[in-house]
């Protein structure tokens, strides 16, 4: 009878060891899967971050270009304004004299706008 009990106990221990080994292997596999998932997510986040930074740099470059264009346009407008600014005066003969950029223009006949 003791041999039978011993055999039952040994069988139980063997099955318990097998179950423990299977459980440990399952945990190792789950840990590997989790680590793989984490690495994949980190890679995806890094890729999105890199794409976002590239887009941000592209937009900053575009803004700088637009600011430079606006500055040039403003300078051109100021030059154009200085060229177009002039003076107008009435002469004794009734002519309107306009001076623009040092050049004088005379209008001998003019009439008031109709209302």
Query: What is the tens place of the pLDDT at every residue in 44-71?
Result: 999 999 999 999 999 999 999 999 999 9
Task: Band the pLDDT of 103: cuts 50, 70, 90.
Answer: confident
Per-domain boundaries in the chain: 2-84, 86-115
Question: Bridge partners of 103?
Answer: 100
Query: Tell me: the pLDDT tens digits for 67-99?
Result: 999 999 999 888 877 666 655 555 666 667 777
Distance CA 56, CA 64 (A): 12
pLDDT for res 62 = 97
């Amino acid at each position: 009878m003791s041999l039978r009990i011993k055999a039952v106990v040994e069988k139980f221990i063997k099955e318990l060891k097998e179950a423990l080994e299977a459980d440990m292997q399952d945990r190792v596999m789950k840990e590997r899967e989790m680590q793989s998932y984490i690495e994949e997510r980190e890679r995806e986040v890094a890729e999105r971050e890199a794409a976002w930074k590239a887009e941000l740099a592209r937009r900053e470059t575009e803004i700088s270009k637009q600011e430079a264009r606006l500055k040039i346009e403003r300078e051109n407008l100021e030059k154009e304004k200085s060229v177009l600014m002039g003076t107008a005066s009435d002469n004794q003969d009734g002519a309107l004299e306009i001076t623009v950029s040092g050049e004088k223009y005379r209008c001998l006949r003019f009439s008031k706008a109709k209302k």
